[in-house]
Chains A and B, each alone.
Chain A
């Protein structure tokens, strides 16, 4: 059974840093692109970043230079290092797997982890 477990969310002050984690199981992690998608409270979904099997990474413009996606294939884990956090980064962050038919088809999702940026 495919499982994605998100963790690391917390309350952090503006300008602060946080590292999110996603533990994957039930599939061959190294074969898949992996994504982070976020959802601000009461709002819609926003794709944040993804990383391919070879380490190729992409970001939405609003987080470029502040967020870094990474993966540890030996630990079947995906990470999101978030620096210089802003109030507008407040959201539930989901890890999502990219389907083999297309990296941008999000076929499995974690349960989400809440990041709150506030003083």
Chain B
């Protein structure tokens, strides 16, 4: 099973700042990595798939990069609605699909 480790656990930033979230896989998942955003009481929302492809309707301030074992989600200019928990997820080696433990982006 592929273990995904996200860092940091919590990121404290102000609106307008840049957020950089990391996800490291225990073995290569090629480019088969996705990022999801989850707000309290809501279902997750797909942001990025295949490491760098934005999902339908996702703003350009969200971008993804990486391949193999190291991946990054960047939010270039934090908007108030971007404060949430972010999960990475791999489909490169399955079953099972696995998720990281999440990074919380909170208002500083």
Residues of A that sit less than 8 Å from B by CB: 35, 37, 44-47, 58-61, 94, 99, 101-107, 109-112
6 CB-based A-B contacts, threshold 8 Å = A47-B98, A59-B95, A104-B91, A107-B49, A109-B45, A112-B43
Within the complex, the shortest CB–CB distance from A21 to chain B, in Å, comes to: 16
Contact (A106, B99) CB under 8 Å given A44-B87, A45-B89: no
Q: Kindly supply a per-residue 1/0 record for chain B positions 84-108, scoring 1 wherever the CB is within 8 Å of any chain A CB and 0 otherwise.
A: 0001011100111111111000000
The secondary-structure label for the interface of chain A is strand
Are A45 and B44 in contact, with the CB atoms below 8 A? Answer: yes
Contact (A104, B87) CB under 8 Å given A44-B102, A45-B99: no
The interface size bin for chain B is: 20 to 34
Are A94 and B50 in contact, with the CB atoms below 8 A? Answer: no
Q: Which of B43, B44, B95, B102 contacts A60 (CB 8 A)?
A: B95
Are A44 and B100 in contact, with the CB atoms below 8 A? Answer: yes
Are B32 and A102 in contact, with the CB atoms below 8 A? Answer: yes
Within the complex, the shortest CB–CB distance from A102 to chain B, in Å, comes to: 6
A101: chain B residues within 8 A (beta carbon): 49-50
Within the complex, the shortest CB–CB distance from A97 to chain B, in Å, comes to: 10
Within the complex, the shortest CB–CB distance from B54 to chain A, in Å, comes to: 12
How far apart are the CA atoms of A47 and B90 in the complex, in Å? 11
Are A106 and B46 in contact, with the CB atoms below 8 A? Answer: yes
Residue of B nearest to A61 (CB): B96
Within the complex, the shortest CB–CB distance from A5 to chain B, in Å, comes to: 11
Contact (A47, B96) CB under 8 Å given A104-B91, A110-B43, A111-B43: yes
Residue of A nearest to B42 (CB): A111
Of A45, A94, A101, A102, which is in contact with the most chain B CB atoms at under 10 Å from its CB?
A45
How far apart are the CA atoms of A99 and B54 in the complex, in Å? 13
Are A99 and B44 in contact, with the CB atoms below 8 A? Answer: no
Judge whether B73 is part of the interface by a CB distance below 8 angstroms: no
A60: chain B residues within 8 A (beta carbon): 95-96
B13: chain A residues within 8 A (beta carbon): none
